[in-house]
Chains A and B, each alone.
Chain A
Amino acid sequence: AQSVTQLDSHVSVSEGTPVLLRCNYSSSYSPSLFWYVQHPNKGLQLLLKYTSAATLVKGINGFEAEFKKSETSFHLTKPSAHMSDAAEYFCVVSNSPLNTNAGKSTFGDGTTLTVKP
């Protein structure tokens, strides 16, 4: 069984300040973890992925996330928010390729990021 919890449904930051979107996961196997972004009326776009290589993962648009197995967390960060970052963000967990259900993904409920000028 796998699950993901996004700890904040809404996050509001000022432009130029750091962003932190929190995600905890549960997985019976070594997971693959992803962050996706969804802008209004746009499709889901992959921001970054963790697949058991480096624990600090860099993604597009200056975002990065750190996999912490001891804390079962995969928080998304960005040093300086931009107005264009305002969107819905989803944390996703998938089982490892060794699992028979490998590839099935579970999405969190999403975090809405608002960026104030």
Chain B
Amino acid sequence: DTGVSQNPRHKITKRGQNVTFRCDPISEHNRLYWYRQTLGQGPEFLTYFQNEAQLEKSRLLSDRFSAERPKGSFSTLEIQRTEQGDSAMYLCASSPGLQSYEQYFGPGTRLTVT
């Protein structure tokens, strides 16, 4: 399967701990996106990369959140000092690039902060 993969699929952590999620996009896709989805809502944009460059960050992405895509391939999303309000599904998507913006989504990482 050559789709978008995310790890871990589930993460339970205690408030105040740091967590890191990984996303592996479809090979050769230039763009990579992170979203957050809570129950009953549509995905909310967090940030996206064109190759290794982070082009935009949502205001939702507080200082506790950071994302990287160091070599333009996989990406990591880190949340520091987690809060209960961070509990959500974190989705990653990739798209081919400049002329085509359909996004292909991974299965998500479900974060539960206790």
Contact = CB atoms under 8 A, between A and B. Distances in A.
A97 B105 contact: no
Contact of B43 (A44, A46, A102, A103): A44
Counting chain A residues whose Cβ lies within 8 A of the other chain, the interface size class is 20 to 34
A105 B42 contact: no
Interface in A14-48: 32, 34, 36, 42-46
* Most chain B CB neighbours (cut-off 10 Å) among A44, A46, A106: A44
B65 interface: no
Contacts, number: 57
A49 B31 CA distance: 17
B43 A107 contact: yes
A90 B42 contact: yes
A105 B56 CA distance: 11
Contact of A108 (B35, B42, B100): B42
Interface residues of B, number: 27
A60 to B, nearest CB: 12
B5 to A, nearest CB: 11
Interface string B44-75: 11001010000110000000000000000000
Interface in B28-48: 31, 33, 35, 40-45, 48
Interface of B: 31, 33, 35, 40-45, 48, 50, 55-56, 91, 93, 95, 98-108
Interface of A: 32, 34, 36, 42-46, 49, 51, 90, 94, 97, 101-110
